[in-house]
Amino acid sequence: MKVITIDGPSAAGKGTIGANLSQRLNCFYLDSGMLYRQIAAWVLADGASLTEESDVKNIVAKKLPFLKWVQGYVPSEDLRAPKISDAASKIGVFQEVRRLANQYQRDLVSASSGWVIVDGRDAGTVVFPDAVVKLFITASPNIRAKRRYLQLIERGYTSDLYELEEEIIQRDLRDQKRDIAPLKPAPDAYIIDTSEETIDESVQRVLKYLEKYIDA
């Protein structure tokens, strides 16, 4: 299975780097964070409790099989709203929700004939532990908060930089300490800190690393 996984915390640059790489390498790209945001949007639209695992699981089991995720799929901009981000983190702790989401991702990848890039929190540790290449992208909470702040302002959302940094720190703790698929680099992951790099510099560093695995 020709899989490149990109794990790491929120706003570290996974999505931007992943999308860049998929264009450079002309391969399928799956942003699992957006998958969980879609699930969270379904739950919020249904009015179900974010803390009731059985309710959330029933919604996912009903809707996920009909989600068409193809190359070039662009999720609704509404999925990037802060309330969706927070809800996605909360439902991500449920074992049955993760099991269904993980199987959905594996089915998508197995249907692909070429290389696939998957980014998320546990893509390389849980979903695709046999991936050929595993990357872990990180950055300081302060830098990530500034990036997220600029993204939200650009998209028309109001935000507070200090509150964003606190939310990022709390989400990191929630992701790292959860019992199911905690956020951490795989033992064989290539770790990249993007705090002092531009996106292009990070992408070039990854491409250089990939030369030993594929014709980048």
CATH number for the domain including 152? 3.40.50.300
Residue 215 lies in a domain: no
Structural domain span for residue 130: 3-210
Residue 64 lies in a domain: yes
Alpha helices by DSSP H, 136-183: 141-154, 161-177
Residue 216 lies in a domain: no
For 50-97, write each residue's pLDDT tens digit.
999 999 999 999 999 999 886 656 567 788 888 898 899 889 889 999
Q: What is the reported pTM?
A: 0.88
Residue 86: which of 13, 193, 159 has the closest Cα? 159
Contacts of 12 (CB under 8 A, 6+ apart): 137, 138, 139, 144, 194
Residue 5: which of 181, 183, 129 has the closest Cα? 129
Q: Tell me the pLDDT band of 184, cut-offs 50, 70 and 90.
A: very high
Average pLDDT over residues 95-114: 92
Q: Tell me the pLDDT band of 216, cut-offs 50, 70 and 90.
A: very low
Q: How many domains does the chain fold into?
A: 1
Residue 96 lies in a domain: yes
pLDDT for position 74: 58
Residue 70 lies in a domain: yes
Instruction: Report the DSSP beta bridge partners of residue 3.
Output: 116
Average pLDDT over residues 168-191: 88
Residue 150 lies in a domain: yes
Residue 102 lies in a domain: yes
Cβ neighbour number for residue 49 with a 10 Å cutoff:
11
Percentage of residues of the chain with pLDDT beyond 70:
96
| Sheet (strand 190-193) strand order | 28-31, 116-120, 3-7, 133-138, 190-193
Going by the DSSP 8-state scheme, the letter that residue 80 receives in this structure is G
Residue 204 lies in a domain: yes
